[in-house]
Structure 1
C-alpha cells in the first residue's frame, strides 16, 4: 500500500499515544480515518487535529473488548467511508503483579482488550477486505511480544499472542491481496504508563502503606519515561514501513537481534536468565531503599 491518499482506515486506541500519532501521520498521507477509543474527551481533541489536516474523519467511543461495539462501528464505517483499506489494532492495557497476586478477572480484562479485540476486528473487517481483494491489517504488539519480560504477565502473554496471530495471518492471507504487519514498540511515552495497574501483596500494603507503594511506582514509571521515545517520532517509522508492507515493524533494531538469537536456543536461554535476574535485582534494590525485603512478601 504505497499510496495512502484517499484510502480509508479504522484505528483503535486513537485518543492518545501511538494511536493518536499514527492517526495524524496517516492523515498527513491523505487517509480518511475512523478513530475510536474509550476516552471520548481525548478522541474529540484528536478528531479536531485531523480535521485541521483536511481529510475526512469520524469518531466514536468503542470498547474493543465487546464484539457488539465492533459490529456497530463496522456499520458506521461502511455508511460514512465505504470500503476499508487499513485496519490498525492499537488499543492496549497492562496489569502487573506476580502470578499469585493476579486474579482471573485481571487476565480476562487484559485478554479482552489486547487479544480478543483483534480477533473481533478480524471477524468484523476481514470479510470485507477479502470481498474486494485488498487491504492491510496492522496489529500493535510490543517488544514484550518478542522477548518474555518477567512482568507484567498478562500483558506479555497477549503481546506474544499478537505476534503469533500476525505471523499466522501473514501466511494465511498471502496471495489474497491482504498484507499484515505487526508493530513491536520499544519504550514509548504513552498513557499506558499512567493507566497500568500493579497488584501488590496486601500484607505489603498493610506494612508500608499505599502512599509509599505509590511513591515507588511513580519512581519506576519515571525511570521508563526518562528513556522513552516520543510517539510522534516512531509514528513516522511505522507509517513508512506499513507503506513498504513490512511484516515486522520495530523502532528498536535490537529486537531483530533477539529474533535471530531465538535460533540459538542455549544463547537465548542464557540471555533470558540474565535479563530476568537483572530486573529482579533492580526491583529488590528499589524496595530495599524503602527498607523492604521484597522476598518476605512472595
Structure 2
C-alpha cells in the first residue's frame, strides 16, 4: 500500500468522522425547529402591510390573476396588470379602480421574451419599481401526448415557466438593491404529482415548483433575506381552462377561495401554499408508498375532465 493510498483513506475517514459529528450536533437544532414549527400551528401569524407596494400580476385578465388583483386593490396597492387579452385586462382594471386602487394595464404576450423585457422597461419608466411580482399567467392543453401539438407544448413551457425567468430577471435587481420584495410563483398540485392527459402542463408546473425552490435557496445564499417567495399549489380550480373537472377526493375549487389562501400566504410570508392545505399531507405520504398503492389511490381519486385522446393517430 503506497503512502498516497494511506493518505487518501485517512482523509476519507476524517471526512466521515466530521460528517457524523456535524450530524450529531445538528440533531438538537432540528428538534428545536420541529417543535417551533408545531407551536406555530397554534399561534396566529403576523400579517405584513403591503400598502403602497407596486404589485405586478401576469395573466390578470381572468381567473386567479383577476381575483388576486382585486384583493391587492383592497389592500391599497398600486397595480400593474399584464395580460394578452386586452378586453379582460380592462375589465379587471376598471374594478380595481372602483375599489380605490391605481391600476396600470399593459397588453403583454408572456410567451414572448422580448415582449416581456420591453414591457418591463415601460413599467419601470411609467410606474416605478415593482416590489411584488405575481407570476400567474398560464396555459393548459387537456390532451394526451400525441394529441398535443408541438407548438402547444412549446407555448406551455414558454408561458408556464420560461416567462417566470424573464419577469424575475427584469424586476429582481431592484428588489435585491433594496433587499425588499416578494416573488410569487403560481404553480399547481399538478407540479407535485402526475395527472393523465395533462402531460405538458404537469411538466411545466413541476418546473415552476423547482424554480420557486431554487430561487428561494439562491436568495438565501446571497443573503437577500428581505426578499420573500411564495408558491401557490391548488388542486383543480374552476377557471374554465379545464372543462368539467371532477374527482372523488379533492374538491373543485372556486377562484375566490384559492386567492384568499394566496393572499394570506403572501402576507404571512408562507413559502408553499397548498389549497386545500391538507393536500400537502397526501403528497408527503405518497412519497413513501409503494407504486401499486399510489396507483390504487389514483384509481380511487377517479380524476376526470374533457380531454382529446390521440394515441391512435398515425404519426407523420
TM-score, normalised on structure 1? 0.80
In structure 1, C-alpha distance between the alignment counterparts of 2:129 and 2:232, rounded to whole Å: 24
From 236, 252, 256, the counterpart of 2:280: 256
Please name the residue that 1:182 is paired with.
Answer: 231
In structure 2, C-alpha distance between the alignment counterparts of 1:247 and 1:275, rounded to whole Å: 27
SS, match of residue 56 in structure 2: strand
Indicate whether 1:236 and 2:260 are aligned. yes
Please name the residue that 2:175 is paired with.
Answer: 129
In structure 2, C-alpha distance between the alignment counterparts of 1:94 and 1:56, rounded to whole Å: 31
Contact 2:176/2:227 (8 A) holds in 1:
yes
Contact 2:79/2:104 (8 A) holds in 1:
yes
Q: Which moved more, 1:230-239 or 1:132-141?
A: 230-239
Please name the residue that 1:21 is paired with.
Answer: 67
Contact 1:145/1:161 (8 A) holds in 2:
yes
Contact 2:146/2:311 (8 A) holds in 1:
no
Q: Which runs of 5+ in 2 are unaligned?
A: 1-46
User: What is the Cα-based RMSD across aligned positions, in Å?
Assistant: 2.6
In structure 1, C-alpha distance between the alignment counterparts of 2:175 and 2:283, rounded to whole Å: 30
In structure 2, C-alpha distance between the alignment counterparts of 1:295 and 1:54, rounded to whole Å: 49
Please name the residue that 1:274 is paired with.
Answer: 296
- Residues 1-298 of structure 1 correspond to what in structure 2 (within 5 A)? 2-174=48-220, 175-176=223-224, 177-193=226-242, 221=244, 223=246, 227-264=251-288, 267=289, 269-277=291-299, 297=312
In structure 1, C-alpha distance between the alignment counterparts of 2:86 and 2:195, rounded to whole Å: 32
Q: Which runs of 5+ in 1 are unaligned?
A: 194-219, 288-293
State the shift of 1:278 in Å: 5.1
Q: Residues 109, 282 of structure 1: CA spacing in aligned structure 2 closer, same or farther, 3 A cutoff?
A: closer
Q: Which has the higher helix share?
A: 1
Q: Residues 280, 186 of structure 1: CA spacing in aligned structure 2 closer, same or farther, 3 A cutoff?
A: closer
Q: Which protein shows a greater Rg? A: 2
Q: Residues 281, 159 of structure 1: CA spacing in aligned structure 2 closer, same or farther, 3 A cutoff?
A: closer
